[in-house]
Amino acid sequence: MRQRTFSIIKPDAVRNGATGAILAEIDKAAFRIVAIRKQTISKPQAEGFYAVHQGKPFFDGLCDFMSSGPLVLMVLEKENAIADLRKLMGATNPANAEEGTIRKRFAASIQENAIHGSDGEDTAAFEIGYWFAGYELI
């Protein structure tokens, strides 16, 4: 089943000049880029996006980090997109990420972990709709 997922190349990876290399990995893994936009988000925008993590000890630092510089918002499509992107990303904590994954190559810490990917169908629908309008997703 063809499926869409939502992804972010996070500010650490953009700052480190890894945007092109991460896009190449995504391309090599046969994802279609449905929509893509580089922008700097505000802290309230980050708080709304990560609302599910509100109250957790890392929430405030995470939202500061996500609003600290430009990032790249993307909607990606392929068969089994949600699970396949998570496999390509590797574990949330790069210390536990497998060889060959994006986080193993590009992430420095559990917070500054280079890339985000939706963790399920409902989350993907919320996250795509949070950042992109329907007319941008054709």
Nearest distance in Å: CB 56, ligand CMP: 7
Beta partners for 6? 75
Question: Which two structure tokens, joined as six digits, stand for 23?
Answer: 């896009």
Q: Which two three-digit tokens encode residue 93?
A: 């904590």
> Which of 118, 90, 117, 119 lies closest to 106 in space, CA to CA?
90
Describe the strand order of the beta sheet including 32-39 as a list of residue ranges. 32-39, 71-79, 2-9, 115-117
Instruction: Write each residue from 49 to 88 as x if it is in contact with ligand CMP (CB under 6 A), else as -, in one continuous string.
Output: ----x----x---x--------------------------
Quote the least distance from Cβ 138 to ligand CMP, whole Å. Answer: 26
Closest CA to 111 of 19, 13, 22, 7: 13
Please report whether residue 102 would count as binding ligand CMP according to CB under 6 A. no
Q: Is 116 in the site for ligand CMP (CB under 6 A)?
A: yes
Distance of closest approach, residue 115 Cβ to ligand CMP, in angstroms: 8
Known catalytic residues?
A: 116
Q: Which residues bind ligand CMP (CB under 6 A)?
A: 53, 58, 62, 92, 110-111, 113, 116
